[in-house]
Structure 1
Amino acid sequence: MCNLYSFGSPGRVMDAANKALGGEVKLGAQAGNLAEDYVGADSDGPVIRAAGDGYEIDVLRWGFPPTSPKDKDGKWEPPITNIRNLKSRWWTDVNREYLYEARYRCLVPFSAFAEPVSGKGRENAWFETTKAQGFFAGIWRPWEGDTRLVPVEGKARRQRAQAALELYAFLTTEPNGIVKPIHPKAMPVILTDPADLRDWMSGGEESLRLQRPLGEKGIMLSSA
């Protein structure tokens, strides 16, 4: 499961999105200081979503709320960063509107993503697309609660506190022949074709057919 990725130049991301989506992409309220960086689970990353008659690129928190805030031992559960089983009640019922409605669709730009190497501890393999720009098929939602780590005034580290956040996650699928030798369980759903990007952003059940692995010619091992 992908819990770490990087994104490249914001200018390149906006240019690629403008060309693919056929609508103007503007900077959102939180994206003014956006720069190339890495994104890990439960940290902030850029997404592209609908805004008015066009689109915006803004910074949201990576990870949907878990099915239960704490496990049987009282430990905090991690956020849901990857979405695989779209037939589960968690998505068909509890989070249905976020999965199907166009206003909650988003594209998550990336330059490379990591998958853990089995049997080698925390070692990762990195992959990137052979296209100029790749996007994960994502969804976002508003959320308010106290189970997430947020900046608290006077504290050096983030604390668990009541907060209103905008969250995102992205779809995964079975791995293609490039990713499978490294990570046989899954890979992110990657969109590079402009028609697929527009289709995903239109919402609806039919667009869920895009939950499929990217062709092997579209991806390669990276040195990120």
Structure 2
Amino acid sequence: MCGRFAVTLPNDAMAQLFAARPSNSLPFVPNFNVCPTNQVHVVRATNDGRSLDPLRWGFLPHWYKSETAGPLLINARAETLAEKPAFRTACRERRCLIVATGFYEWTKTETGDRLPWYIHRRDNAPIAFAGVWQNWGAEDVRQGTCAIVTTPANRHLSAIHHRMPLILDAGDWPLWLGEAGKGAARLMRPGPEGMLDYFRVDTAVNSNRASGSDLIERVAI
């Protein structure tokens, strides 16, 4: 699962990295505490090449009458992505990349305290989460929404959580976006053991109102 993440790459650098045309209304960066329902940076394939767009993190199926008409769908399980009514069409036709620098997970102590961990690529490269997207709402007020695809955690990450986001290397971006034909299903597997590392961070990030670069600073344990 992924319930909070950070993005620090400048918008122009994101556009260059993904060879995407940037929207004029991209979210502010850096943001060290991206929360569900926030606007996030999403790369999509279009007839005119890739675009870098702001989408609401929280997928809204077309049958929702309001944004709160059902569960908040911030994650989509890879194992059932092609079967669930909410996601199955998006799985075939509307896959995307969601840009991040790192993400957070929590463990619990015996007393129920939530201890946050910051997870990042060991090579410190930006992260491209696999995602799916959906336009929702009436024609005059339609908004783009998205969810992050998750897989079972690999052995290394399972020490702190049983799920992990599906993270794609640059060579896999064309296949996931549909630019390289069919076969994206083979990408839906846990990331390699050596890809990610993690460390404890301050409990300040437990609040969705927290901000600042200190949220991703290592704390002693």
Rate the CA distance shift 1:13–1:130 in 2: closer, same or farther, 3 A.
farther
* Structure 2, gaps ≥5 residues long: 202-215, 217-221
Give the structure-1-normalised TM-score: 0.74
**1:130-145 equivalences in 2 (<5 Å):** 130-131=122-123, 132-144=125-137
Aligned residue identity for 1:209 = R
Question: How far 1:7 moved relative to its partner?
Answer: 1.0
**1:76-155 equivalences in 2 (<5 Å):** 77-84=70-77, 86-87=79-80, 91=84, 93-101=85-93, 104-119=94-109, 120-131=112-123, 132-144=125-137
Helix, strand or coil: the match of 1:30? coil
Is 1:59 the equivalent of 2:46?
no
Count of residues paired in the alignment: 192
Aligned residue identity for 1:17 = F
Choose from 154, 170, 175 the match for 2:148: 170
Whether the 8 Å contact between 2:60 and 2:134 is mirrored in structure 1 is no
Whether the 8 Å contact between 2:82 and 2:91 is mirrored in structure 1 is no
Is 1:49 the equivalent of 2:53?
no
Residue matched to 2:159: 181
Query: Could you tell me the percent identity over the aligned residues?
Result: 27
C-alpha RMSD over aligned residues: 2.8
Residue matched to 1:15: 16
Measured against aligned partners, the alpha-carbon deviations of 1:51-70 in whole angstroms (never above 9, x if no partner) come to 33211111110011379969
How many Å separate the matches in 1 of 2:114 and 2:69? 21
Aligned residue identity for 1:3 = G
How many Å separate the matches in 2 of 1:67 and 1:177? 36
How many Å separate the matches in 2 of 1:88 and 1:6? 25
Structure 1 residue ranges, 4+ long, deviating more than 6 angstroms after superposition: 66-70
Whether the 8 Å contact between 1:118 and 1:182 is mirrored in structure 2 is no
Residue matched to 1:5: 5
Residue matched to 1:35: 29
Aligned residue identity for 1:113 = F
Give the structure-2-normalised TM-score: 0.75
